[in-house]
Amino acid sequence: MGIIIALIIFGLIVTVHEFGHFICAKLSGIRVLEFSIGMGPKLVQKKKGETMYSLRLLPLGGYCAMEGEDETSDDKRSFRNAKLWKRMIVLFAGAFMNFVLGFVMLIGMVCMMDSVPTNEIKGFFGDKDGDKVTYSSQSYETGLRHGDVFVEIDGINIYSTLDLNYFFATTNKSTHDVVVKRDGEKVTVEDVVFYDNKSGKTVDFGLVYKDKKPFTVVKGSGEMFLSMGHVVGMSLKQMVTGKLEKEEVSGPVGVVSTISDAATESESKTDALFNLLYMTAMITINIGIFNLLPIPGLDGGRLIFCFIELVRRKPVKPEHEGYVHLVGMLLLFGLMIFATYNDIARLITG
């Protein structure tokens, strides 16, 4: 059952992405030849108007095929004959729809919480004897105060509690340089120690939680959206710089497996739904950002050629651009094979 749920969610993410391209192409007057959900052999197809709608066997992809997208076409409604700004909107629309889906998932996730977490410090661990408070919190002793709002820790932006959780789960430093917003101004506090002497806990402070109201839900969801984008960006940076271990690279099989685990290993149906919303948001934001990377074959690579056309005031020859995208697609295909190998190896070894 978990695998089925995972495939449905993965299919939803891909469909939403391709629908972004599709609807903007239609609105721009570009001829859409086929809108496909899935890859491989066709299971069902139906032609409506000028567009063939199809469902294919493998639910690990999809596409929106437009007239003249990769070749020269005399059709006035071909992709390449559309105005530059329309082409750029069509190319960006897929990732944009991924971001919209991610934001909607996060709103659903926040609505399931009892209250909305913030980055504001409510209090510190300690003991109270009458009016006297003795703090065992090192973060208080080293400079943090009630009402401080986390902005950065060791140069890492803090957008939401997701960033705080990620930071404390991965840091191995004993002291930290912290930027907080205090009384409306940014203040840098150096050599902060996050540790409670009495309990031995690393996180020695409590955060402010706000009541669920429309504004706080949307604001909290937006902050979590930025956090997820930030985490994806850091992961991509680690991949480019070689700091990400090759065993950590994951592909479609790994994504489906992760979603399946979130659906089946939760303690309750409520927890399962919460985890699925979280995973869907993280994956769709990841896919949106990845597709905007300036890599040939991706939407971002095609946007680069649009910017080149904007500067040169004339397009690159379709055959030349096609060769570049072909090389990019071959490299991406190789990366997918490598990632899938990693996924299968992890499943076998546990």
What are φ and ψ of residue 44, in 5° steps?
-140, 140
The single residue of 18, 67, 223, 321 carrying the catalytic annotation is 18
223 is a catalytic site residue: no
| CA pair distance 46, 96, nearest whole angstrom | 27
| CA pair distance 132, 348, nearest whole angstrom | 58
Q: Is 301 exposed, middle or buried (0-12, 13-18, 19+ CB in 10 A)?
A: buried
| CA pair distance 33, 48, nearest whole angstrom | 10
Structure tokens at 38: 């899935």
Structure tokens at 258: 């992760």
Nearest alpha-carbon partner for 191 in 153, 161, 158, 165: 153
Catalytic residue numbers? Answer: 18
